[in-house]
Amino acid sequence: MTNHHLSVEQRFHLEAAFREIDSCEDIEQLRALTKQIITAQENEKAFAREAIQQVRHEMEAAAKQNFGFNWG
């Protein structure tokens, strides 16, 4: 698994999560933890997608204003 440009804090949290997973012997707890991780990951993806859409919208609005384009 590749960790692209993680901050020290992110690497710390990742290591803490790995240790928690490695020490867990309760299958129900592992299931719950896995669901939490997947949910957090999907929420991060949704946030990033929405942020990109917002930035794109702001850039288009600035381009219209600065260059006199009359889109849509």
pLDDT of residue 33: 87
Question: pLDDT truncated to tens, each residue of the chain (72 aa)?
Answer: 566 788 999 999 989 989 988 998 999 999 998 899 899 999 999 999 999 999 999 999 888 888 766 555
| The pLDDT value given to residue 45 | 96
**Burial of 68 by CB count in 10 Å (0-12 exposed, 13-18 middle, 19+ buried)?**
exposed
pTM (whole model) above 0.85: no
Give yes or no for a contact between 21 and 36, defined as CB atoms under 8 angstroms apart: no
Phi first, then psi: give them for residue 69, nearest 5 degrees. Answer: -70, 150
Per-residue model confidence (pLDDT) at position 19: 93
* Alpha-carbon span 62 to 55, nearest angstrom: 10
